């Protein structure tokens, strides 16, 4: 065949030549392709009596034993204990049983630590967790099935898949403000992904931490899951020293930096669920009464100790005074004239934090609240106006029931205010003007953006929950929690039969072959995974 003739071939002819490669790939798939039907879900449970618990029965995890605990977890993973589907499902069902059988104990423990109303506890600490467990149980088989993807003709004859491999041994560090949810939900993903896990719960929520250590050790496989609940900063420093295959941290930015630096020494990937100063923009088009009602509810839920709650308000100057009046009105409606006596208002985690919050009252003019009772770990729901923008209340995350309100001329000033500061975990907008809403959402960056409500995006398992920039790395909830704890491995299965081995890629490269390969690979033709092929 003359090369000039080849160069003058019509696109239709080139397509025909390319299609011949596709036909070859289909013939190969017809006769030799191994169908991935999920039969691997029937892999038997690994019985290994020689693998001991990560923490010896009846003992606490001592700080100097951490390297040994991590190694025992790795031995269990390497033995394949956590990989079979049946093991994962049994552990998830055991976790569900743990939550259901000990519901009242969990509620009592969280109440002792944070004084949360029962509704807040079962909503955020029990039911949301059970929803995540149920979703994992219901969909795990579906999530585990390798995804077949299209294969380029240039790789033919072959089939291509994405496998979901366990990462290995993971470290989960959870905080005190939602001590059950933020510990157990990541653990659901770690177990569903087939990993072994070391769970570090906060010592500040001591009653919940001690309960979780007892229950997790009782209900889950102690060879593959270990819990530590009593250690402080020295323990965390030791915990992050060994090599893990993933570190999942929820907490402050400062501690997150320490965790990130330790993980970087081993090139360990991380998920960092941090906090930040979340803005709440109130436009002049807002229903001020509804906005105030929802802001007060969301801000003072869990006594303001929520990483995604509004940290400060930017309100249009035309409705500034009206909003302040409405905020005070709804505080009184929700918690009465004396919020300290209300059973619906939670408590601050510690006396130290009460004193810290009290120090913020001087950063502006107190409109409502502004009192504390250290002995009861009480800080009043507090509204502050005329805020000093260079003061601590606007440079550090508040993490408590103190709400600064800042007046702005217009939406452009609010956007400028937000974009010149570290990226927040959440951004809130209240208003009826959809154009202003879109303007805010399109011209700011945040982990999440919510209009006319607070907090509720956290309850949707279909939405990613996570930060951006200074507010975090990675996201989870629902299937994303499973995805966080697996590696999406590329798998290409080529022919083992010489009859289907195409000679085009092998030297010597003749001009004709070079021309044809150039045309075919440039055309970007794929063998469609959806073509009906007999098995």
Residue 475 and residue 247: Cα distance in Å, rounded? 13
Other Cβ atoms within 10 Å of 16 Cβ, number = 11
Characterize 125-137 residue by residue with b for buried, 16 or more Cβ atoms within 10 angstroms of its Cβ, and e for exposed. bbebbbebbebbb
Is pLDDT of 2 > 50? no
**Among this protein's residues, is 307 annotated catalytic?**
yes
Report yes or no: 32 and 500 within 8 Å, Cβ to Cβ.
yes
Q: Which of 26-35, 121-130, 337-346, 523-532 has the lowest mean pLDDT?
A: 26-35
Write down the catalytic residue from 132, 273, 437, 470.
273
Give the predicted TM-score (pTM) of the model: 0.91
**pLDDT class of 108 with cuts at 50, 70, 90:** very high
Residue 54, domain member (yes or no): no
**pLDDT class of 472 with cuts at 50, 70, 90:** very high
pLDDT score of 530: 53
Beta bridge partners of 427: 449
Residue 392, domain member (yes or no): yes
pLDDT score of 519: 83
Q: Which residue has the tokens 């250590």?
A: 213
**pLDDT class of 161 with cuts at 50, 70, 90:** very high
Write down the catalytic residue from 196, 224, 303, 307.
307
Residue 59, domain member (yes or no): no
pLDDT score of 264: 97
Is pLDDT of 318 > 90? yes
Residues 290 and 179 grouped into a single domain:
no
Residues 225 and 356 grouped into a single domain:
no
Beta bridge partners of 372: 379
**pLDDT class of 6 with cuts at 50, 70, 90:** very low
Q: Which domain holds residue 79?
A: 39-48+75-274+477-487
Report yes or no: 429 and 408 within 8 Å, Cβ to Cβ.
no
> By CB neighbour count within 10 A (0-12 exposed, 13-18 middle, 19+ buried), where does 73 fall?
buried
Residue 496, domain member (yes or no): no
**pLDDT class of 258 with cuts at 50, 70, 90:** very high
**Among this protein's residues, is 273 annotated catalytic?**
yes
Q: Is the peptide bond before 508 cis (omega within 30 degrees of 0)?
A: yes
By three-state DSSP, how is residue 202 classified?
coil
pLDDT tens for residues 406-448? 999 999 999 999 999 999 999 999 999 999 999 999 999 999 9
Residue 60 and residue 69: Cα distance in Å, rounded? 11
The length of the chain in residues reads 535
pLDDT score of 280: 98
pLDDT score of 14: 53
Residues 390 and 415 grouped into a single domain:
yes
Residue 163 and residue 198: Cα distance in Å, rounded? 24
Residues 259 and 326 grouped into a single domain:
no
Residue 507, domain member (yes or no): no
Residues 283 and 270 grouped into a single domain:
no
pLDDT score of 376: 97
Residue 337, domain member (yes or no): yes
Q: Which of 65-69, 229-233, 354-358, 389-393 has the lowest mean pLDDT?
A: 229-233
What is the secondary structure of 377-412 as a DSSP string?
TEE--EEEES--TTSGGGTS---SSEEEEEEESSHH
pLDDT score of 500: 78
CA angle 419, 422, 424 (to 5 degrees): 90
User: What does the mean pLDDT of the chain come to?
Assistant: 91
Residue 19 and residue 26: Cα distance in Å, rounded? 10
CATH number for the domain spanning 339: value is: 3.40.309.10
Instruction: Provide Rg for the chain, Cα atoms.
Output: 28
Mean pLDDT over residues 450-458, rounded? 97
Residues 214 and 341 grouped into a single domain:
no
Beta bridge partners of 246: 170
Is pLDDT of 222 > 80? yes
Q: Which of 5-14, 262-271, 282-291, 307-316 has the lowest mean pLDDT?
A: 5-14
Residues 427 and 295 grouped into a single domain:
yes
Residues 266 and 387 grouped into a single domain:
no
Residue 478 and residue 206: Cα distance in Å, rounded? 28
pLDDT tens for residues 16-54? 555 555 555 455 455 444 444 455 577 788 888 889 999
By three-state DSSP, how is residue 330 classified?
helix
Residue 24, domain member (yes or no): no
* Alpha helices (runs of H) in 102-194, residue ranges in sequence order: 103-114, 118-121, 128-144, 181-192
What token pair was written down for 307? 């990483």
Alpha-carbon distances of 405 from 275, 322, 332, 465, rounded to whole Å: 19, 12, 18, 26
Residues 110 and 211 grouped into a single domain:
yes
- Helix (H) and strand (E) counts in the chain: 18, 22
Residues 215 and 313 grouped into a single domain:
no
Q: Report the Cα 452 to chain-centroid distance in Å.
A: 23
Residue 139, domain member (yes or no): yes
Report yes or no: 157 and 494 within 8 Å, Cβ to Cβ.
yes
Mean pLDDT over residues 225-247, rounded? 95
Q: Which residue has the tokens 């289907």?
A: 500
**Total domains present in the chain:** 2
First to last CA, the chain: 38
pLDDT score of 21: 53
CATH number for the domain spanning 116: value is: 3.40.605.10
By three-state DSSP, how is residue 508 classified?
coil
Is pLDDT of 154 > 90? no
Residues 142 and 238 grouped into a single domain:
yes
pLDDT score of 533: 36
**pLDDT class of 82 with cuts at 50, 70, 90:** very high
Residues 130 and 152 grouped into a single domain:
yes
């Amino acid at each position: 065949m003359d090369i000039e003739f080849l160069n003058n071939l019509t696109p239709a002819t080139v397509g025909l030549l390319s299609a011949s490669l596709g036909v070859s790939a289909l013939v190969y798939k017809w006769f030799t392709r191994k169908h991935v039907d999920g039969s691997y879900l029937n892999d038997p449970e690994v019985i290994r009596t020689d693998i001991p618990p990560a923490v010896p029965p009846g003992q606490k995890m001592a700080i100097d034993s951490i390297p040994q605990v991590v190694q025992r977890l790795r031995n269990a993973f390497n033995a394949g204990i956590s990989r079979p589907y049946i093991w994962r499902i049994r552990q998830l069902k055991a976790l569900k049983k743990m939550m259901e059988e000990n519901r009242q104990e969990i509620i009592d423990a969280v109440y002792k630590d944070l004084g949360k109303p029962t509704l807040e506890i079962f909503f955020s600490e029990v039911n949301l967790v059970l929803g995540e467990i149920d979703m994992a149980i219901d969909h795990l088989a579906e999530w585990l099935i390798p995804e077949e993807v299209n294969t380029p003709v240039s790789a033919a004859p072959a089939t291509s898949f994405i496998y979901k491999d366990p990462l290995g041994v993971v470290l989960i560090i959870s905080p005190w403000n939602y001590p059950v949810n933020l510990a157990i939900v990541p653990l659901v993903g770690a177990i569903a992904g087939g990993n072994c896990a070391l769970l570090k719960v906060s010592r500040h929520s001591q009653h919940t931490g001690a309960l979780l250590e007892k229950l997790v050790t009782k209900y889950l496989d102690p060879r593959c899951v270990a819990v530590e609940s009593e250690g402080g900063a020295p323990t965390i420093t030791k915990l992050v020293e060994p090599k893990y295959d993933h570190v999942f941290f929820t907490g402050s930015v400062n501690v997150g930096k320490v965790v990130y630096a330790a993980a970087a020494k081993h090139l360990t990937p991380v998920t960092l669920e941090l906090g930040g100063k979340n803005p709440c923009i109130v436009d002049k088009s807002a229903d001020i009464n509804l906005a105030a009602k929802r802001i007060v509810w969301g801000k003072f839920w869990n006594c303001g100790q929520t990483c995604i709650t509004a940290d400060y308000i930017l309100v249009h100057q035309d409705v500034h005074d009206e909003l302040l009046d409405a905020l005070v009105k709804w505080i009184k409606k929700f918690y009465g004239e004396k919020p300290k006596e209300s059973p619906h208002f939670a408590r601050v985690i510690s006396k130290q934090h009460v004193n810290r919050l009290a120090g913020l009252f001087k950063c502006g003019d107190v409109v409502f609240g502004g009192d504390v009772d250290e002995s009861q770990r009480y800080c009043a729901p507090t509204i502050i106006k005329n805020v000093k923008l260079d003061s601590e209340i606007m440079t550090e995350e508040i993490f408590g029931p103190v709400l600064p309100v800042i007046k702005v001329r217009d939406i452009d000033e609010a956007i400028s205010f937000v974009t010149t500061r570290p990226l927040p975990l959440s951004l809130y907008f209240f208003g009826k003007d959809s154009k202003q809403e879109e303007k805010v959402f399109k011209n700011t960056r945040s982990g999440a953006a919510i209009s006319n409500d607070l907090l509720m995006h956290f309850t949707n398992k279909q939405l990613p929950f996570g930060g951006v920039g200074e507010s975090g790395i990675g996201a989870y909830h629902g299937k994303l929690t499973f995805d966080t704890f697996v590696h999406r491995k590329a798998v290409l299965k080529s022919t083992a039969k010489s009859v289907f081995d195409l000679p085009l890629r092998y030297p010597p490269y003749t001009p004709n072959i070079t021309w044809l390969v150039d045309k075919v690979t440039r055309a970007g033709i794929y063998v469609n995974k959806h073509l009906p092929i007999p098995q």
